[in-house]
Structures are given as structure tokens and as C-alpha cells.
């Protein structure tokens, strides 16, 4: 188990633990703070986080900006992969394909499921993320290619 997974386990033992964990994560990677995320579920193989529709993430149409949603997708995919990988491996995003299906007129929630497997010495893994509005309507889907390798 890696350091992030151990930290997650510690935070989950306290009230509002996922909220605190998200704050620590945003401190470590400050750009994610710009979307005000909050993990609702995070465990090996599964991740779910939300961002509120607020002025700082809106576009000129008053909907959640596409890049704010892309940021949420990367956060959910990367963090879920991080707590899923064994301590012997590391990852980095390689590419992202994102489909904007509908306007996001409300808070949005991103989910991912990563099947645990035997991890390669090195190679790519696609992580799929789906984003829903508050009416549970699919607004975005993304496929993020992660390059996974053994730590040196």
C-alpha cells in the first residue's frame, strides 16, 4: 500500500475524513483547489467526487466550464489510480479524450471504476470517467490514458 492509500485510511477513521483528505490533496496539487472538489467515495478501484456549480467554475453561459469538468475528471482518475496501485508503481497522465455530451447546469459528480489487476512493468492503462449533473444526467465522459511504470 502506498503513502496516499495509507493517508486515506487514516483520514477515513475521523469524521469528515474525506473532506480533510481532499483538502490535503488540493494543498499538494494546488491547481485542483480552483474547482473546490470533494471526494464522496474513494477506495481501491473506485472513486467519486463532486464540484459545486459556483461562479468561479462557470463559463459565459452560466454553466460549469468544460475545463473545470476536465480538471475534475483528472482528479478522480488520478487519485483513484493512486490509491489502487501497489507501492511498487507510479503513474502520470499521458492523454485525455473528453466528450461533452450536455451542458452542466448544476453541481457535477464524477465517477470511475478501475479494475484491479496485475500491473505491468510499464505501459498504458485507460481510465474511464463519467460525469453527471444533479439530475443524474450524463454530461461528460472521458478516457484518460495513464502511463504506469515501476518505481526506480
Q: What is the overall mean pLDDT for the chain?
A: 95
User: Residue 17 — very low, low, confident or very high, per pLDDT cuts 50/70/90?
Assistant: very high
* 3-state SS class at 84: helix
Q: Which pLDDT score is estimated for 152?
A: 84
Confidence class of residue 117 from pLDDT cuts 50, 70 and 90?
Answer: confident
Whether the predicted pLDDT of 113 surpasses 90: yes
Mean pLDDT of 99-110: 97
Q: pLDDT of 31-84, one tens digit each?
A: 999 999 999 999 999 999 999 999 999 999 999 999 999 999 999 999 999 999
DSSP three-state, residue 55? helix
Checking if the pLDDT of 116 tops 80, the result is no
- Domain CATH code at residue 138: 3.10.129.10
* Whether the Cβ atoms of residue 79 and residue 129 lie closer than 8 Å to each other: no
Statement: residue 145 has pLDDT above 80:
yes
C-alpha–C-alpha distance, residues 139 and 133, integer Å: 7
Q: pTM for this structure?
A: 0.94
Q: Looking at residues 5-31, what average pLDDT do you find?
A: 95
Residue 67 belongs to what domain range? Answer: 3-150
Packing angle of the helix pair 17-28, 3-12 (nearest 10 deg): 150
What is the total count of domains within the chain? 1
CA gap 74, 32 in Å, rounded: 9
If you search the block for the grid coordinates 444526467, which residue do you land on?
137
Q: What is the per-residue pLDDT for 43?
A: 95
Amino acid at each position: 500500500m502506498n503513502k496516499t492509500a495509507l493517508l486515506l485510511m487514516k483520514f477515513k477513521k475521523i469524521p469528515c475524513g474525506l473532506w480533510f483528505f481532499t483538502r490535503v490533496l488540493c494543498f499538494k496539487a494546488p491547481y485542483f483547489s480552483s474547482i473546490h472538489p470533494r471526494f464522496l467515495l474513494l477506495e481501491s478501484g473506485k472513486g467519486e467526487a463532486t464540484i459545486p456549480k459556483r461562479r468561479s467554475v462557470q463559463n459565459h453561459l452560466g454553466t460549469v466550464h468544460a475545463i473545470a469538468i476536465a480538471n475534475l475528471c483528472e482528479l478522480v482518475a488520478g487519485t483513484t489510480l493512486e490509491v489502487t496501485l501497489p507501492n511498487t508503481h507510479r503513474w502520470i497522465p499521458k492523454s485525455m479524450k473528453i466528450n461533452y455530451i450536455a451542458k452542466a447546469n448544476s453541481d457535477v459528480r464524477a465517477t470511475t471504476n478501475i479494475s484491479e489487476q496485475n500491473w505491468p512493468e510499464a505501459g498504458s492503462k485507460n481510465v474511464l470517467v463519467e460525469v453527471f449533473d444533479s439530475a443524474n444526467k450524463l454530461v461528460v465522459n472521458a478516457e484518460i490514458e495513464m502511463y504506469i511504470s515501476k518505481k526506480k
